[in-house]
Structure 1
Amino acid sequence: MLLCSAFNGLSQRVWTELRRDGHHVVVQTADSDDAVRAAVARARPELVLCPFLKERVPEDVWRRHPTVIIHPGPIGDRGPSSLDWAIAEGADRWGVTALSAIDEMDGGPVWGTRTFAVDTADPPRKSSLYGGAVTDAAAALAREVVEKAADPAFTPLPLADHAPGAARGRLRPLMTQVERAFSWEDPTADVLRRIRAADGFPGVRTTLAGLDVSVYDAHPDPHYGAAPRVRPGEISLCQNGAVLVHTGDGALWVGHVRVRGGGSTPSVKLPATTALGARVAHLPRRHEPFPGRPGQSSWSGYREIGYDRVGPVGVVSFDFHNGAMSTAQCERLTAALRYAAGQDTAVLLLQGGDSFSNGVHLNAIEASPRPGPEAWRNINAVDDACAAVLDCTRQLVVAAVGGNAGAGGVMFALGADIVLARESVVLNPHYKSMGLFGSEYWTYTLPRRVGSATATRLTEQCLPIGTAEAAEIGLVDEVLPGTRAEFEAAVLHRAVELACGADRVRLLADKVHRRESDERHRPLAAYRHHELAAMSLDIFENRNGFDELRHAFVTKQPSGRPAAAARAHLLPALVPA
């Protein structure tokens, strides 16, 4: 049994890999001690594994069933803010440890550990570290724990029995806003580290434009040194939703902000210029140079979309915070894709960020004074980006899925001719859990890859799948191992090989012929009209609880009956009655 606070990316990764190994895996969220006890009594698990758990395991559970906690820290590390402290204090190595559940949290006998390097020059966001190196280490460790649990001769080693120096961590408390606090007069590097140690949750509380806010998504701008006429804490420039905030020795971009307290919009994380609204409306605005414009390579700032050319390969890179794509972001991405499709390259490579894409920007929709019309604009803007990929017939298109993808983000990748995925990625190719039918031409791209029956299963069951299964059913074409940097290098190498290969002309001709044949059979516009007709009922009539599910998701609060109904799609498939 996987016992977790939420069925998040790490829990999903462990679930997909253990099932792949042939184990029967059930999932239980820690909604209450009684719910946990009832689920354990029903499933009678041989092992209770906790890959992401903030709550204590009931004592009667861990005394009766082997229970192992996956803790995001090295041996000896204890406490609920491990990654926060690691980033804030500039640790150059960190780890993940599996230990038995006992009375003392994170203090049980050790089943195994993994360690990894942490970049101290450019500190990672906590969410990036968690979704990357921590998840990779935790998934490997979970498989090791399951193997050891099947070995009657194995006994976990008490922490006190580890060799001197092996226990690198220590007990540290919950990191509060007092420990996270900084002054805008501090050096840029210090402010950056503080914000990234709290990104994406809970953010760091500070003041911007006279408002009490929490800040996220910080990026240094090396072109801005200390400006004597701009006081630390002041905002001097806006760009692509971010604001440039001056510090004691320079400036950094703050991409996302949550306004604390009242206000006319819900208190959710939003692009900084949206959250601050009229308070920054008078400031100058700078836009990304259009992809490919001369001098772009020397340009810096808050860059979400880029275009680079590597010989015969054009690379459109995009990195949207948490993979959410707002209306404005989709419009800029579509412009970049259309520009790239018009170049004299042989291959167009689509390369996402930490999260490849998760489709529409639910926070921006929730914060809009008219959520329905904004959701409609957003889904149409995503569709336009998907259409730009599907209409690209001058080049072969390769999608590089190096980070997790969900809903419309998966379907966006499926518009490419070749989909390459990093081995550790988890895909959620469904919409139903958010009360939506979905668009992004999925009724065209998904069945043509996996067949109608499998497309129905994927979109109705609402379950994550790993890349091994995705490759088997044809959802992706090839799975590549390695770190994120290794994956991107391998993908670029494959794209260059494809562009220079003898089969390129034939493959491109086959693509054009297939697209023309499909268009004669049923135009792409017909798929879009069909999907949007269904979406209009979800968005404007709320037929499947989209309003409640969206609100619950962005505010991290229960939504009542609609959320329970959506969860029912998931849990019966995981926890047998």
Structure 2
Amino acid sequence: MTQLVLREDFGGWVQLTLNRPEKLNSLNVEMFAELRAHVADLADSTGIGCVVLRGAGKCFSAGHDLGGIAEGETPPSKGWHSETLRLLGKLPIPVVAAVHGHCYTGALEVALAADFIMASDTARFGDTHAKFALTPVWGMSVRLPRRVGLATAKRLMFTAEMFGAQEAVRIGLAEFTVPDEAFDAEITRLAEQIAAQSHFSHAAIKRLLDQADGRPTDDGLIREWMDGEGRGPDMHERIGAFQKK
């Protein structure tokens, strides 16, 4: 039986690949169930400093399987898809969405659950909920405006406009773009760079950023020094190694 989400472990980082290339990695309940299982395993793991989420074949994902929607697919519970993406976003590990080709609607909601998006120059983004008389239920109305701003999110959602990698970088949806021929190498380089940093710091920083998001500045500043761990168990080792250089 074909795995719908593949996991590959490298030196200190993990790659999860949406693996339904014959359907342009369109998202269904079964794929989400496998993604959720991988996320649960990663939440309990140690020694992982970065997670990369990408798609197999021609694209990241063309979005939610419209055939499944039309047939009335039944998730295990109400809000289950959204909860799955929330668990992905809450991993105490940096999560990078590596997008090439199509990344539309539900697929964009998946990518937005990552800490940031890197894009191949072939990447194409868009939110087509309005085109099909649908409304977001996986997080688009919350995560997209926080990434690109309220007015830009409204424009993209109202128009169902498709746009490329350069525009995604310009509006702040993606962090950077790379030529498609360098995409795999850049994934490896970035994941290794992230994984080489303190995993303690990654988890603590993600928690502080999540706590500060949307809060008044003074509240965030107080929480940073009151609730922050400050120093990790690998601090002395890392400072000692730096001083020996």
TM-score, normalising length from structure 2?
0.78
Query: 1:386 — aligned with what?
Result: 85
CA-to-aligned-CA distance 1:341-383 (integer Å, 9 cap, x gap):
32220111112123312332221333x3xx2xx2666984432
Query: 2:55 — aligned with what?
Result: 352
Q: Note the 1:177-576 alignment, pairs <5 A.
A: 239=1, 302-320=2-20, 321-344=23-46, 345-353=48-56, 354-366=58-70, 368=71, 371=72, 374=73, 380-392=79-91, 394-483=92-181, 486-501=182-197, 506=201, 508-518=203-213
Q: Which has the larger radius of gyration?
A: 1
Give the residue type in structure 2 aligned to 1:314: V
Say what the alpha-carbon RMSD is for the aligned residues. Answer: 2.4
Contact 1:449 / 1:475 at 8 angstroms: preserved in 2?
yes
Q: Note the 1:128-207 alignment, pairs <5 A.
A: none
Higher helix share: 2
TM superposition shift of 1:445: 1.2
CA-to-aligned-CA distance 1:216-265 (integer Å, 9 cap, x gap):
xxxxxxxxxxxxxxxxxxxxxxx3xxxxxxxxxxxxxxxxxxxxxxxxxx
TM superposition shift of 1:434: 1.1
CA–CA distance in 2 between the matches of 1:433 and 1:378? 26
CA-to-aligned-CA distance 1:134-175 (integer Å, 9 cap, x gap):
xxxxxxxxxxxxxxxxxxxxxxxxxxxxxxxxxxxxxxxxxx
Change beyond 3 A, Cα 1:505–1:447: farther
CA–CA distance in 1 between the matches of 2:78 and 2:176? 29
TM superposition shift of 1:506: 5.0
Give the residue type in structure 2 aligned to 1:362: L
Query: 1:30 — aligned with what?
Result: none
How much identity, in percent, do the aligned residues show? Answer: 24
Change beyond 3 A, Cα 1:310–1:448: same
Give the residue type in structure 1 aligned to 2:51: L
TM superposition shift of 1:443: 2.1
Change beyond 3 A, Cα 1:338–1:403: farther
Contact 1:341 / 1:348 at 8 angstroms: preserved in 2?
no
Change beyond 3 A, Cα 1:375–1:428: farther
Question: The residue matched to 1:357 in structure 2 has which SS?
Answer: coil
Give the residue type in structure 2 aligned to 1:412: V
Question: The residue matched to 1:355 in structure 2 has which SS?
Answer: coil
Question: The residue matched to 2:24 in structure 1 has which SS?
Answer: helix
CA–CA distance in 1 between the matches of 2:110 and 2:186? 21
Higher relative contact order (CA 8 A, sep 6+): 2
Higher strand share: 1
CA-to-aligned-CA distance 1:457-516 (integer Å, 9 cap, x gap):
111111101110100110011101133xx31222121110111147x7655433211212
Query: How many residues get paired?
Result: 212
Change beyond 3 A, Cα 1:377–1:460: farther
TM superposition shift of 1:330: 1.0
CA–CA distance in 1 between the matches of 2:42 and 2:150? 32
CA-to-aligned-CA distance 1:372-423 (integer Å, 9 cap, x gap):
xx2666984432331221121x211111112311001012101111211101
CA–CA distance in 1 between the matches of 2:62 and 2:202? 29
Change beyond 3 A, Cα 1:326–1:380: farther
CA–CA distance in 2 between the matches of 1:519 and 1:335? 30
CA–CA distance in 2 between the matches of 1:376 and 1:432? 22
Contact 2:100 / 2:124 at 8 angstroms: preserved in 1?
no
Question: The residue matched to 1:356 in structure 2 has which SS?
Answer: coil
Give the residue type in structure 1 aligned to 2:13: V
CA–CA distance in 2 between the matches of 1:336 and 1:421? 23
Contact 2:102 / 2:123 at 8 angstroms: preserved in 1?
yes
Change beyond 3 A, Cα 1:348–1:341: farther
Question: The residue matched to 1:323 in structure 2 has which SS?
Answer: coil
Change beyond 3 A, Cα 1:319–1:388: same
Q: Note the 1:21-40 alignment, pairs <5 A.
A: none
Contact 1:426 / 1:464 at 8 angstroms: preserved in 2?
yes
